[in-house]
Amino acid sequence: FDEFNRIDIEVLSVVAQQILQILTGLKQEATSLHFEGVHIKLVSTLGIFVTMNPGYAGRSELPDNLKALLRPIAMMVPDLALIAEIMLGSEGFQNGKVLGKKLITLYSLMQQQMSKQDHYDYGMRAIKAVLVVAGAVKRVDPEMSEEVILLRAVRDMSLPKLVGPDVPLFNALCGDLFPGAEVPAMDYGDLMAAIKENLTANNLQHNEQVIRKVIQTYEAKACRHGNMLVGRTMTGKTTSWRTLQQAHGTLKKAEKPGWEKVHAFVVNPKSFSLDELFGGYNLVTREWTDGTLSSCMREACADEKPDFKWITMDGPVDTLWIESMNTVMDDNKTLTLASNERIPLTPPMRLLLEIENMREASPATVSRGGVIFMNDTDVGWAPFVASWIANREYETERGMLQKLFEAYVGKTFEWMRKNSVTIVPLPDINKVQHLCYILEGILGNGDNFAGQCKTMGGESAQQLIESYFVYGCVWAIGGGTFSDKQNDYRKAFDRFWRDEFKTIRFPEEGTIFEYAVSEDEFPLKIENEVLSSPFTPWGSRVVDYAHDQTMIYGNIYVATMETQRLTHLLDLLMPNKHACMFVGGAGTGKTTIVFDKLRSLDVDVYSNLNINLNCFTDSLLLQGAMESVLEKKTGRTFGPFGTKKMVYFIDDINMPQVDKYGTQQPIALLRQLFDYAGWYSRDKLTWRDIQNVQFVSCLNPTAGSFYIDPRLQRAYCTYAVQMPGAEALNLIFSSIMNGHANTGFAPDIVKRSDDIVKATIELSTAVASTFFPSAIKFHYIFNLRDVGNIMEGMLRSTVKNITTPLVMVRLWLHECQRVFMDRMISEEDVAKLGDMMDVTTKKYFDNLGFPAITQLPLSFTTFTTLDENESGKNPYCQVESEEILSGRLEEKLKEYNESNAVMDLVLFQMAVDHVCRITRVIDKPRGNALLVGVGGSGKQSLSKLSAFICGYEIFQITVTANYGMNDFRDNLLMLYTRAGCKGIGTCFILTDGQIVNERMMVFLNDLLASGNIPDIFTKDVKDEFSNAVRGDCKQAGIVDTPENLWDFFVEKSRRFLHLCLCFSPVGDKFRIRARQFPALVNCTAYDYFHPWPNDALISVANRFIKGVDGILEDDVENVAKHMAFVHTEVNVKSNEYLVSERRYNYTTPKSFLDLIDLYKTMLASKREEMRVLKERLENGLEKMQSAAEQVAELQENLVKDMLVVEDKKAATDKLLAFVGQETSVADEQKALALVEEEKCTKIADEVTEFQAECEKEMAAAEPVIQAAIEALNSLDKKSITELKALASPPAGVDDVTAGVMVLMGAGKIPKDVSWGAAKKLMGNVDQFLNLLINFDKDNAPVIACEWIEKNLLKKESFNVASMRNKSGAAAGMCGWVINIVAYYRIYEVVEPKRILLAEANTKLDDANTKLTAVRAHVAGLEAKLAELNDQFSQATQEKNDAIAAAEKTQRKADMATRLVNGLADENVRWTEAVKNFDQQEAQFVGDVLVAAAFVSYIGAFNARYRNQLVNELWIPDMTEKKIPMTEGMQPLQMLTDEAEVAVWNGQGLPSDSVSVQNGAIIANCKRWPLLIDPQLQGIKWIKRKHLLQIAEAQPDDWNVEEKGVFEPDPEKAVTKEMKVIQLTQGKYLNAVELAISSGEPLMIENIREDIDAVLDPVLMRATIRRGRSLVIKLGDKEVEYDPRFMLYIQTKLSNPHYKPEIAAQTTLINFMITLD
């Protein structure tokens, strides 16, 4: 195994087990092995060898169990001199020892003295390569000097890789070691001619360095099969190998011997994942999917033509893909795939890597290939200029341009290198290329120049060209400069240009970037020996803005100098398909400028596609989006639909995720398309040529990867886009504001428009320069968008509702508050911003009255004014009073609750403000809100209310265990269908907890940024949606082209679909998302939910506890204030806790609401306990009073009862004597009956025995009769008819018929028994059969039977078998005769016995009759006797009852007397206790308040903080507020008692005070407990607490009557433990469902810092009533909820950071063991 430690550590652990299994088999001398489910043969000579380079990037450390199986062998640096000597000797060198030492010395000196470069290699492979080349030269020219041969080999192998400064040093070292050796130049005559021919054909210069690098590439390929072209962008790498490729083709075409054509397979390895590059297995189906590179290599390998095949890897190196190529680059020359396929490099195949640097390559990789390094100075920018100028048509123009380049460009670059930087790194040649492209756009093909020479004269034409050249230079070289807070490079460039170049002068005002060439200024005039300026300001070319009230604000475009000049540059470059890039911070208008340009393109010529990149965009998604607007043309050529050109607008091009090697997949894909005009299809892995596409891009250098790959950046003409200055901003927004004001507003309002714009710009500038982004305030990015958002709010004003300047200014102030203040996250920032707004307001509008402007309420809404304006929507106007606003919202809340799940909201002032803010956002087109606040702040509830107020349908996703990207994609398509197709206003409310996959943010980012989500809008979906809006599009007067339909659909969707994102600011997740997905902040209105202020807390508490039983009206206010105090102080202590203990604890508004709810519940429970106890004592007192009264009554009753007892005794004795007499008579009659019964029994036994004997003998006759019947059954009419038809029967048949006639003879033997007589008897067959069937077998004639026995049965032939052979009828009759005779003989024996049996039965009947009479007489006597006994028993019972009653009365009297005497003292105490209960009940108000606060808030703190909160803060505050409470009250007194604590201790709960407190919190908390339990104390106790002993079950076959009541065996009892699960185990939701439905306790152990969102309904106990039962929604299921269900959550983390949402859903309990 080579490079063994490149395998992942997880896989190595598995490999260790496999190797151990093999080695164990070898030790046991086994011949076979069961390995990985397969039986394999084991050869004893097997050996396992691995090689590895430790310490390189991408390498793993071997696990210990694998190290133990392999014997380590350290490979030391070999004696290279000895190796060189031996190899040289083997190659035929005579002086090998000296030359070998020289070679090693040279490489040693190079390693020590040359610069450190990633691509330098002085190791074994480099030396071996030199020696192999030297041997080859020696064999070709044996006569050449050995020193010269070695020197040539060293030079050819080393010079190509050296950077420029190292070349002189290398030559000096060679001169010192090989003095006097001169290497003759190689003759590459044919190749050199072919190279120059192709350079000329490609309009390239015959640059000496380029030609040298082409030759070096050729030499490297001759020596090594794998080579690398290394160098920065635009240094000639691609030109070198392409020129060599073309030269091969030229020489092949010329039929030069030894030359073949070259086919290049170009792959950018970073544009694919590893599986897409090399192939991989599908982890689910285990199917192999081929890779692009493996497919290319297989194709090249299979091609048997002699043509060369170059596998060209043009892309950045990383350790993953390049290490996989090691076996290709070394002597193996084989690509080994994970499928075990091995693709060899055939002799015509070569590997070529074109890379910028080798920072990520290991030395092992560097040593495997030849390196040709391209220095920056090898080519430079001059050859490009020369080639471009040479391509111009007119000689005069060419000469002029050459002079201009020489005069301007070099000096400018020199100054730029020393004094300025561009907004992104740009090489000089890129700027020169950019300049040439601008000149192309201006000058065209040269005809313009020729025409101008004629019209204005040669001198003026040359001045015009120079003016254009200056203009192009300014933008090509200086267009990338920028200004920031420290430096203004653009202004510095302006000063340099004015000072340095004075031939063509710019006007003094402004900067050189503010002017454009005007041909109207020509010919130029000379004033004071200075030419007049040919430039006019861009501002004079700006098109005036025309206001359109119907236009959505987001589509408004106001041209400015900046937009005009950048658009002009696009106009110059785009027709020639040159890519342009705008670079600038967020909110600088980059996207707006591009969109305006794209909208202005001719729709018959151009199509466009906007693609927003983000951190999850990979090359596959990008290629899919770009291919979605292309169609196949011919063969492998693809292009836009029809004959159009496609303009791809790639926004946020630097946002894709940067891998650990510094590269981005989508950028690599784009570079392949830019450089090679195509890419590989992802399904068929074939090359596709992409035609008629061009690019415009935007880049934000403060986000994402900051920059992109320089090799892609150089393909763009790059411009820095600055934040517009105050003048530009004033122009933009004054145009908009004045345009709106002039639609009918009062003149006084119109006059204020300019002041409003100036105040807005000044305030925005002040805010941006005061509030800076930080790690916490990362969203404090204020730019052009904020000013635009304020203006958008101003444009919502209407003439009808804004009637005075005061109201308009109040609207302005309101919009400023919403845009700026709603983003502030601290009270200090809010106050500071408020002061800034006050200053600005007073500066511009003080004459309107500052108090009047700032008078509260300052709020504008669309739902407080009901009359509708022309558009059918409520107007956006100010709220007259807080009462009106609150009343309106209360009405809306009531309406909402009537049709939806009830929200019990308290609309205090802050909640009202948030509803107004949310409705303000989502009630406008493209309005999306970002609500940021800790969990439980009310974000979702207020969003639902706001959406309801706006008349929108509300949608929220349902997170399930299996919810994934496909479900989210389906939900989004449904929302787009609802909004875009049906025009239904919809509010999509999404929380950060519902984002189960970060890729969901990709869709949301696209939705917010443009409304177009390429990943979900496939071609079919687009067609469906486009067709759905075709009618609306036509109705709007828009031509229904596919592009227009799609734009209309997206715009409609953005108008009706509104997003409310409810995110938490806690932790890094929100900050990271905001950085990765810019639209999250840029394209939403931010609303920060601050903690509830004290008055809000008091208001909410007042609302919920007012009217609660047990709280006096005078105490309500103090209780509410104390609750607010508790909540506030816990916040303060949480901050202290974080500082001192570094532990996080959060309180949220939900925590406060839960405190109120728990307080009400506990108070009601304690009052109910008190009521029950009080009732018991009062009932006891009543019972004691009634007991004293009843004692006297009992004594009287006792005397009466004793008299009754005596009477009962006498009557019972008398009845007893009479019963005795009657009993003796009955006994005598019983004796007589017994004698008769014995007689009858004896007779019955005899009869039974005789009957059994008869039946046994009759049973013997039964088979005989049956045989006779069967014999008759065998007869049928046909057989008898056939028999009687015989003239003479077969022998013996006449005997059978004779026997039949004898039996039928009625006791007489017929005289004629011949066959004739028989035929007569059978004459009527039916009658004959009836005679046989109905024959009286019991009375067969004796004489007939004797005759048959005598004459027939003795014959041997007289049997059924012999007759059957003769006649079936005869056989049947024969059987009948035989069986009738046999039956008769049995019958004559049995019949006499039958007669005797009948006589015996008659005798038995007589005896039974007599016995019955005797029994009847005895029964009568017994009945009489029983009646007497009943009378006696009743009399006895009455006597006993009387005695018992008397005794009971006696006992009652005794006990009552003792009770009254014993409770005499208790009577006094209970009476006193009942009086004290009322006082105790009043003190419950405070006692329960302390206990509820303790349970709600204290669990996360340690002992010290718990004591401070309870004893130093809460109780003193209650005392100060005079809330009734028990003196010396402690929370545990209300939460538990000593007996319960003892039980807990017995179950394993530690007995320290903190643990007992924790147990009490768990027993009383309203939210499910979450145990911070690293030492596992809490979970052990909980498990034992819920240990259930299940007794032995009663067996199913247990017979209670026989065995008695079942008693379980204690030893057979079963212990049932509570269910414990982890969120990481599979299908854990099944266990949760079972526990919920069966009401069992459940423990979720060892959770991390997040809880699966699917459990949110369980954590919140969000039950729903369905009829009589409760259900809870778990994912997409409704599970029946058993109220006995209990949930515990535990973590082993010692210091977890749970976000507020989890703290609000659970009760955090700290079980950490501490010293205190």
State residue 439's pLDDT score.
Answer: 93
Which is it for the CA torsion 1272, 1275, 1281, 1285, positive or negative? Answer: negative
Polymer length of the chain: 1716
Asked whether the beta carbons of 229 and 237 are under 8 A apart, the reply is yes
More confident residue, 1225 or 381: 381
- Cis ω before 306 (30° cut-off from 0): no
State residue 110's pLDDT score.
Answer: 93
773-920-1091 Cα angle (round to 5): 55
C-alpha 738/C-alpha 743 separation (Å) is 9
CB atoms within 10 A of CB 110: 20
DSSP string, 1410-1421: HHHHHHHHHHHH
State residue 1324's pLDDT score.
Answer: 78
State residue 55's pLDDT score.
Answer: 64
The tokens describing 189, both together, are 């005559």
Asked whether the beta carbons of 226 and 368 are under 8 A apart, the reply is yes
Residue 1589's H or E segment, with its range, is strand 1588-1590
Q: Tell me: the pLDDT tens digits for 26-76?
A: 988 888 888 887 888 999 888 899 888 776 655 667 888 888 888 888 888
Span between the terminal Cα atoms of the chain, in Å: 57
Q: Tell me: the pLDDT tens digits for 319-377?
A: 888 888 888 998 889 999 988 899 999 999 999 999 999 888 888 888 888 999 999 88
- Cis ω before 523 (30° cut-off from 0): yes
Kindly give, in sequence order, each residue whose CB lies less than 8 Å from that of residue 925, ignoring residues fewer than 6 positions away.
Answer: 552, 553, 554, 1054, 1055
Q: Tell me: the pLDDT tens digits for 499-517?
A: 999 888 899 888 999 999 9
State residue 271's pLDDT score.
Answer: 93
pLDDT of 855 above 80: yes
State residue 1278's pLDDT score.
Answer: 66
C-alpha 659/C-alpha 321 separation (Å) is 13
Kindly give, in sequence order, each residue whose CB lies less than 8 Å from that of residue 1649, ignoring residues fewer than 6 positions away.
Answer: 1693, 1696, 1697, 1698, 1699
Section 722-744 average pLDDT: 86
State residue 1204's pLDDT score.
Answer: 73
217-178-375 Cα angle (round to 5): 30
Helix axes 882-899 and 939-949, enclosed angle (nearest 10)? 90
Task: Reduce the DSSP state of residue 660 to 3 states and report it.
Answer: coil
SS3 content of the chain, % helix, strand, coil (to 5): 60, 10, 30
pLDDT of 1048 above 70: yes
C-alpha 337/C-alpha 351 separation (Å) is 17
Backbone angles phi, psi at 281, to 5 degrees: -90, 140
Q: Tell me: the pLDDT tens digits for 441-484?
A: 998 877 776 777 777 777 888 888 899 999 999 999 999 999 88
Asked whether the beta carbons of 982 and 1031 are under 8 A apart, the reply is no
- Residue 1430's Cβ-count burial label (10 Å; 0-12, 13-18, 19+) is exposed
Asked whether the beta carbons of 275 and 230 are under 8 A apart, the reply is no
Distances in whole angstroms, Cα of residue 291 to Cα of each of 352, 617, 622, 635, 658: 18, 20, 18, 22, 23
Instruction: Label residue 1709 by pLDDT band (50, 70, 90).
Output: very high
- Best CA proximity match to 370, nearest among 241, 530, 535, 207: 241
Asked whether the beta carbons of 1310 and 1317 are under 8 A apart, the reply is yes
Strands 349-355 vs 370-374: parallel, antiparallel or unpaired: unpaired
More confident residue, 1593 or 1652: 1652
CB atoms within 10 A of CB 44: 9
DSSP string, 229-268: EEE-TTSSHHHHHHHHHHHHHHHHHTT-TT---EEEEEE-
pLDDT of 1441 above 90: no
C-alpha 938/C-alpha 1152 separation (Å) is 12
Stated pTM of the model? 0.74
The tokens describing 832, both together, are 């500071």
42: left (phi over 0), alpha (psi -120 to 50) or beta: beta
pLDDT of 1232 above 90: no
Distances in whole angstroms, Cα of residue 529 to Cα of each of 495, 499, 525, 526: 22, 17, 9, 6
Backbone angles phi, psi at 1147, to 5 degrees: -120, 145
pLDDT of 523 above 90: no
State residue 623's pLDDT score.
Answer: 93
CB atoms within 10 A of CB 8: 10
pLDDT of 1673 above 80: yes
State residue 553's pLDDT score.
Answer: 84
Taking the C-alpha atoms of 1021, 1026, 1032 and 1033 in order, what is their torsion angle to the nearest 10 degrees?
150
Q: Tell me: the pLDDT tens digits for 1458-1482?
A: 766 666 667 777 777 777 777 777 7
State residue 58's pLDDT score.
Answer: 59
